[in-house]
């Protein structure tokens, strides 16, 4: 999205299956009122023009940020996915033994 020739917002996404497009990154200058809404609208329009088979746009998670959650909910999502957290723990002895056996 450009204003007076300067980029003020952009989006990066990809088609992830036959009917869904995923929005990975969406950035805009916060001081430009409506920039986020406009880049979202224009990206959806672009997707529909390039990929008429697309039915859904996955806007990904809100990362626990209330403002981002509110903004994403304002688009009336069809569904929200459960969010799970995981932690991978490798015991020190196992890690040390593994590193010694590698050649």
Q: What mean pLDDT is reported for the chain?
A: 86
Whole-model pTM over 0.85: no
Q: pLDDT tens digit string along 12-56? A: 999 999 999 999 999 999 999 999 999 999 999 999 999 999 999
The boundaries of the domain holding residue 82 are 2-101
Residue partners of 81: CB distance under 8 A and separation at least 6: none
Question: What's the mean pLDDT in 77-94?
Answer: 76
Per the structure, the count of domains in the chain is 1
pLDDT per position as a tens digit, 58-80: 888 777 788 888 888 888 888 88
CATH code for the domain in which residue 79 is found: 3.40.630.30
């Amino acid at each position: 999205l450009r204003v007076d020739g300067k980029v003020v917002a952009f989006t990066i996404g990809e088609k992830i299956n036959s009917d869904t497009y995923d929005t990975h990154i969406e950035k805009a200058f916060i001081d430009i009122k409506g920039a986020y809404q406009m880049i979202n609208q224009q990206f959806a329009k672009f997707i529909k023009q390039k990929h008429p088979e697309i039915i859904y746009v996955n806007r990904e998670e809100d990362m626990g940020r209330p403002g981002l959650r509110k903004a994403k909910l304002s688009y009336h999502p069809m569904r929200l996915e459960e969010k799970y957290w995981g932690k991978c723990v490798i015991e020190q002895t196992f890690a040390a033994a593994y590193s010694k056996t590698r050649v």
